Chains A and B, each alone.
Chain A
Amino acid sequence: MTNQEFGDLLPLEKIPTGIEGFEHISLGGLVEGRTTLLVGTSGSGKTVFTVELLFRAITQFSRPGVFVTFEERPVDIVRNVRRLGWNLGELVEQGKLAFIDGSFDRSITAETGTYDLSGIISQISYAVKTVGAKLVILDSLGALFHQYSDPAILRREIFRITDVLQSLGVTSVMTSERLEEFGPISRHGIEEFVTDCVIVLRHVLDEEHVRRTIQIHKMRGTLHHDGQFPFLIDDRGVSILPLSAMELKQLSSSERISFGNVDLDGMAGGGLFRDSIILVSGPTGGGKTLMCATFVAESCRKGERVLLLGYEESREQLLRNAQSWGVDFDKWEKQGLLRMVCQYPEAQGLEGHLLSIRREIESFKPRRMVMDSVSALERIANLRVFREFLIGLTSYVKQEQVCTLLTCTTPELSGGESITESHISTITDAIILLRYVMIDTSLRRGMIIIKMRGSQHAKDIREFTIDNQGLHVGRPLSNIHDILSGIPSATSAVPSS
C-alpha cells in the first residue's frame, strides 16, 4: 500500500469493477485510490450497485473490501442480495469482507456540544487493515445527516474520511441522495468535498416502464464516456447497456451466406455477408415472414444455429406459417438448431428486451438471428430510446458476428416510410423493400434492394410471387414510380389515388 503523497506524479489508474458495461462507459473502471461519489434519488439502485462493486471486487478480482453502512443494517443488506446469489455472509466468514454498522442507533438520545466521526474512522482504519481491503463502500452519507444534527461537523468529517481513505491507499465509493432527478448533484453539498469522480444514477418513468440510467458526471484526470446509459437490475445484478458508446464496426467478413433463395442471392450480388444486418421492410402480408422462414430454413439446413425472435405472432402461429411453406420449425427446434422466443413487446422495456436478446445470444450462440418485427417494438418507447435500442442491438450482433435479419412493417398497405426504417437504415448493411404494386387492375408484389453495403446488387424492381413452395422472384417490373415513399403504381395504369 503506497501513500499517495503530493509529489507522487504517477497518472491515475483505473481498476475494473466486473459490472457489465461499467468498464466500457468509464473506460476502465473506478479511479484507483480515489473516492467516487455515487448519487441518486431514493430507489435508484445505489445500494445494489455498491454491493455488487464489493462482491465482484472480492470474488472476481481478489480484492477484499469493507462496507460501511449508515442506512440499512448489515443483516438486511446480506439478506437482500441473497436473491442475486451473492453470499456476503460467507465472505465475512472467510475474512474477505467486513461490515461496519453505522446505521441509526436509537439508544443515542442526545447531543450536547461538539463531536466528530473518529469512532467510524477508527473502525474503518482497523477493518481495512484487518481484511487487507482495497475497496471501501460508504452507503449512504445522507443517512448520517438524518442521524446527527450538525451538518457543518458532518461535512468536515466526511472530508476527513476521504483523506483517511486516500492515505490508506484504498479505492472508495460513497453514496448520497438526491431529491430530484435533474436538480443539484447531491442533497447536502457533499460533492464539494468528494470532487474526484461523480456518478449519477437515475430512474424515470418512460412509457410506463421504469428506465434506469447511469451517467458519469465527472471523472477527474481521466477520460470517460459522457451521456446517460441505460442499465437494468435483474437476477444477475446491474447490467449497463453501453449503446452509443459501442463502436460501430465496419463489415469485416467477406464470406457470403445464402438467403435460402437462389433468386434473392442473385439479386444481392451473390448472397449476404456473414456479419451483416439486413432490413426487410414491407406491409402486412407482404412476404416478410416468408423471407424470415426461408432465412431460418437455410441456416438449419447448413447446420448453423439460428435464433428467431417473434414480437408479433405467437409460437404456434410461427410454426403454422412455416408449415404452410413446407418448413418444419418444430423439427429443427428439437435438433437444437433453432430457438424460437416469442414475447409481447409490452412485456418489458426496451432495455429489458435488449438485455434478454443479449442473454439469448450469449447462451444459444446462434450464427443467424431473425427479429420479426423490430417495428413492433417502436410503440413501447419514445423515439430516442428506440434509436438507442437499435444501435445497441445492431452493434452487439455485429460484435458477435450474428447475421441478422430484421423486419419492419410499414404503416400503410402500400408502403411508405416507417419510423423503424428511417432510424435503422444507416446502421443496416442491406435494405430490401417488399411492396404491393398496382398494375392495371391487379395487385402484384414487387421487391427492390435499395442498399447492399460492400457489394453490387440488382437495382431494378422485381416482381415476385408466393406459393406453397415459397418465394419466387420473377421479371423486372418496369415503369413503376414511387416505390420508396408513395404508392407504387405503373404508368400504364390509371393512378389509384
Chain B
Amino acid sequence: MSPELEGVRSDPDYRFALYIAGDTDLSRRAEANLRRIFENCLPRQYVLEVIDVVINPRLAMQDRVTITPMAVKLHPEPIRKVIGDFTDRCKVLSGLGIETVHGQDENQESSR
C-alpha cells in the first residue's frame, strides 16, 4: 500500500494508518468516516495509509492488529489507536489524541 497524500505538504503534521480486513461494507464505512473526520479537522495536515490485513497479513502480525477496523496515529508520538467504524467523531479525535482548533460541531458521522 502506498501512502495516499492528502494535499501537497511533504512533511505532514499527522501520519495515520488504517487497518481494514478486505473490501467489505465495514471497511468502506470505516475509511469514509475516518477521512471525513480528518478532512474536517485536519485539512491538508495529514497522510493516511490504508492497510488491508487480508492482503498483507504479515503487516498485521508485525503491527499486532487484533481488531479491525483500527486507526493508528503514527506521528506525532505517542502512538494511539482507536477501533471500530468511527461513528463517534469526538471519541475518534480524543482517542487519537488530536486537539483541533477546528473544534466546531458537526453532525455525527454516518453509521450506515
B83 contact from A100, A115, A125, Cβ within 8 A: A115
Contact between A102 and B64, CB atoms less than 8 A apart: yes
Chain A residues with CB below 8 A from B69, complex form = 115
Within the complex, which residue of B22, B92, B111 is in contact with A118, where a contact is CB–CB below 8 Å? B22
A255 in contact (CB, < 8 A): no
Stretch at the interface among A10-18, A104-112, A306-314, A473-481: A104-112
Among A100, A113, A126, max chain B CB count under 10 A is at A113
Binary interface encoding of chain B residues 57-85 relative to chain A, with 1 for a CB under 8 A from any of its CBs, else 0:
11011001111111010000011111111
Chain B window 1-36, contacts with chain A (Cβ cutoff 8 Å), 1 for yes, 0 for no: 000000000000000000101100010001001000
Which A residues from 142 to 177 make CB contacts under 8 A with B? 148
> In the complex, what distance in Å separates the CA atom of A482 from the CA atom of B96?
87
- With CB as the reference atom, state the residue of chain B lying closest to A68: B66
Contacts A105-B66, A119-B21, A119-B66 given: A114-B84 contact, CB under 8 Å? Answer: yes
Q: Does A440 touch B at the CB level, under 8 Å?
A: no
B111 proximity list for chain A (CB < 8 A): 113
Q: Which one of B57, B66, B72, B91 contacts A112 once the chains associate, using CB atoms below 8 Å?
A: B91
The answer to whether A109 touches B81, judged by C-beta atoms less than 8 angstroms apart, is yes
- Minimum CB–CB distance from A123 to chain B (whole Å) comes to 5
Closest Cβ of chain B to A118, distance in Å, is 3
Which residue on chain B has the smallest CB distance to residue A124?
B57
For B26, list chain A residues within 8 Å (CB): 114-116
**Count of chain A residues near B, Cβ 8 A:** 25
Q: Give the number of residue pairs across the A-B interface with Cβ within 8 Å.
A: 109
> At the interface, yes or no: A120 with Cβ under 8 Å from chain B?
yes
Asked if residues A115 and B68 are in contact (CB atoms below 8 Å), the reply is: yes
A residues near B80, Cβ cutoff 8 Å: 107, 109
B45 within 8 A of A: no
Contact of A437 with B by CB under 8 A: no
State A114–B69 Cα separation when bound (angstroms).
9
Taking a contact as CB atoms under 8 Å apart, the answer to whether B61 and A116 are in contact is: no
Are B64 and A101 neighbours in the complex by a CB distance under 8 Å?
A: yes
Name the contact of B84 in the complex, choosing from A113, A120, A127 (C-beta under 8 A). A113
B41 within 8 A of A: no
Restricting to A299-337, which residues have a CB under 8 Å from any CB of B? Answer: none
Instruction: Tell me the A residues contacting B by CB distance below 8 Å.
Output: 100-102, 105, 107-123, 125-127, 148
User: Which residues of B come within 8 Å of A, CB atoms?
Assistant: 19, 21-22, 26, 30, 33, 53-54, 57-58, 60-61, 64-70, 72, 78-88, 91-92, 94-97, 111
User: Can you list 9 residue pairs at the A/B interface with Cβ under 8 Å?
Assistant: A109-B95, A112-B85, A113-B88, A119-B70, A122-B57, A123-B61, A123-B66, A126-B60, A126-B61
Known: A112-B88, A115-B70. 18 other contacts (CB 8 A): A107-B79, A109-B80, A109-B81, A110-B84, A110-B91, A111-B82, A112-B87, A112-B91, A112-B92, A115-B85, A116-B67, A117-B66, A118-B53, A119-B60, A119-B65, A122-B57, A123-B60, A123-B66
